[in-house]
Amino acid sequence: MPARDRRLPRHLAWPLTSTDVADCLGPHMSGVTELRFLTGHDSGTLVLSAAWVAPAPRTYGRGVHPDAVGIRIDVHPVDAASRAASRDVLRAHGLPQLHAWVVQSLAADETWQLTAHRRHWRLSGGRLTYRDEE
């Protein structure tokens, strides 16, 4: 993202680009309905998130638009001084794990796809871990 379009304070930077994510996912990128670069000031150790947006019940007008059903990926900002190290770890470990999660999500059975799911990647001390939420 060009510096003039930045919506982050100077001490923060995104560890990945949209090209990094698209290159990792290849043809599976078509299953991604939204790729967001978050601008929050403190994501802590959180660096990457993926969510399966399930269709909500159609009662009382609170349904999810069909175009929103699918995968949403969030790239969280990191300290600008640690961007290069974070990027290396994410490209080596996080993006392949993201790819596997996306492929499994797109191939999952209907029961799984009717429920919202999330995976969060955290980077602490150079070690990348993930946790699933349902």
- Number of Cβ atoms within 10 Å of the Cβ of 80: 14
Cα dihedral 99, 7, 118, 53, rounded to 10, equals -90
Average of pLDDT values for 70-83?
94
Take residue 42 and report the two structure tokens written for it: 């403190």
Per domain, the residue ranges of the chain are 33-107+115-133
pLDDT in tens, 36-55: 999 876 678 999 999 998 88
H-only helix segments in 1-134: 18-25, 83-89, 95-107, 110-113
State the pTM of this model: 0.87
The confidence score (pLDDT) of residue 3 equals 46
